[in-house]
A = this chain, B = another copy of it.
Amino acid sequence: MKLSKKNLDQRLEHVYDVVIVGGGAGGLAAAVYLQRYRLSCLVIEKGRGRSFWMQDLRNYLGLPSDTPGRTLLQQGQQHVLSLGADYLAGFVEAVHDEGETFAVKVKVGKQDSIYPVFRSKYVVAASGIIDRLPHLEDMQNVYDYAGYNLHVCMICDGYEIADKQCGLFVETEAAINTAFVLNWFTPYITVFTQGLCDVSDAMRQKLKDHGYPLVEAPIDRLLGHDHEMTGVALADGSTVELETGLVAMGSQYFNEYLKGLDLQWSGENLVTDSMCRTSHPRLFAIGDLKEGLNQVSIAVADGTLAATAIWREIRRASAPRRWESHLNQPDAIENGVLKT
């Protein structure tokens, strides 16, 4: 059921099989499988994750390619609630390992916040990332286009960028190399650094060799209308026309709550095995938090794998259920033998 400040007291004594941190595609898929394995789980979702912002989820099998990411999330939320999962809007502040259980401390409510602690045998970390966006004075001007024709994922949206005049927005020299992958889709690339990084002579030459202009002037605002970006206005008053854009400014990882645990990291990603288990035997990491492709389809498979590994472990540790012979044995069966 949906938990809130009003009713979450009912669950504070319960030990869940699994608390899932994050109600994106991975977390919801894990919850579908866990509930169908007859395990109990709580999904804690802070809101507005990466898939929430996708205007069109164009590459997920089974959904029309104009399906917004939030439609997938709403469908998934209904799905897990119908299977008996608990779901809470809240922000996970810390996860403590208590030996047999984890204690998961959550901030609930932006005003008059409360800080309940839930307990579970396992934790699935599915809290993902969010893309960094160009920082302009008027951020609403950025939000007007981000997720529409100002893209954040080349694998997802390179197809939409194909053969268009594309602005590539970066803040490090390393990210400029994105241009030399993006050129699979379009050669009409203009690189914008906003002067946030030094650019080496070698990189300048490489851009020049490929014909990709480099614009280092600060950006005043994005131009466009109806969520369609058509160019960039620079601080010096000049403008650059564009048909689309790709932001390659890295990601913010939602993994602070895990920093107190002794885990194996690869940069900001958690290292996991083939079933998405981290170096902690009762902690799984799925989707964008772990190494690999940041794709909805991968997160959903990760949720499948983590849930299955947890089920196997809990099942094997449980006493087998016998069929007591006085209970509902078929008429034709007597003491395990067919009457004939």
Instruction: Please give the residue numbers on chain A whose beta carbons come within 8 Å of chain B beta carbons, in ascending order.
Output: 25, 28-29, 32-33, 35-38, 58-65, 67, 72, 75-76, 79, 82-83, 155, 158-159, 162, 165, 180-181, 183-190, 207-215, 217, 231, 234, 236, 238-242, 274, 293, 295, 297-298, 300-305, 308, 311, 315, 318, 320-325, 327-333, 336-340
Contact present for B240 and A330 (CB under 8 Å): yes
Contact present for B213 and A333 (CB under 8 Å): yes
Contact present for A38 and B162 (CB under 8 Å): yes
Contact present for B211 and A38 (CB under 8 Å): no
A-B contact pairs, 25 of them (CB 8 A): A25-B61, A29-B61, A32-B59, A36-B159, A38-B159, A59-B304, A61-B75, A62-B76, A64-B75, A184-B311, A184-B318, A186-B321, A187-B322, A213-B336, A215-B333, A217-B338, A231-B330, A234-B338, A238-B332, A240-B330, A241-B331, A297-B297, A297-B301, A297-B304, A298-B304
Knowing A183-B321, A208-B336, A333-B213 are in contact, say whether A308-B155 is a contact too (CB < 8 A): yes
Contact present for B328 and A308 (CB under 8 Å): no
Count the copies: 2
User: Chain B residues near A207 (CB, 8 Å)?
Assistant: 336
Neighbour of A65 across the interface among B59, B61, B82, CB < 8 A: B82
Contact present for A75 and B58 (CB under 8 Å): no
User: Chain B residues near A214 (CB, 8 Å)?
Assistant: 336
Neighbour of A60 across the interface among B35, B62, B305, CB < 8 A: B62
Distance in angstroms from A84 CB to nearest chain B CB is: 10
Neighbour of A301 across the interface among B183, B186, B300, CB < 8 A: B300
Contact present for B62 and A189 (CB under 8 Å): no
Knowing A36-B58, A60-B62, A159-B38 are in contact, say whether A187-B321 is a contact too (CB < 8 A): yes
Q: Which residue of B lies closest to A80 (CB)?
A: B61
Q: Which residue of B lies closest to A60 (CB)?
A: B62
Contact present for B190 and A320 (CB under 8 Å): no
Q: Which residue of B lies closest to A326 (CB)?
A: B211
Contact present for B297 and A29 (CB under 8 Å): yes
Complex Cα–Cα for A136 and B223 (A): 69
Complex Cα–Cα for A274 and B272 (A): 13
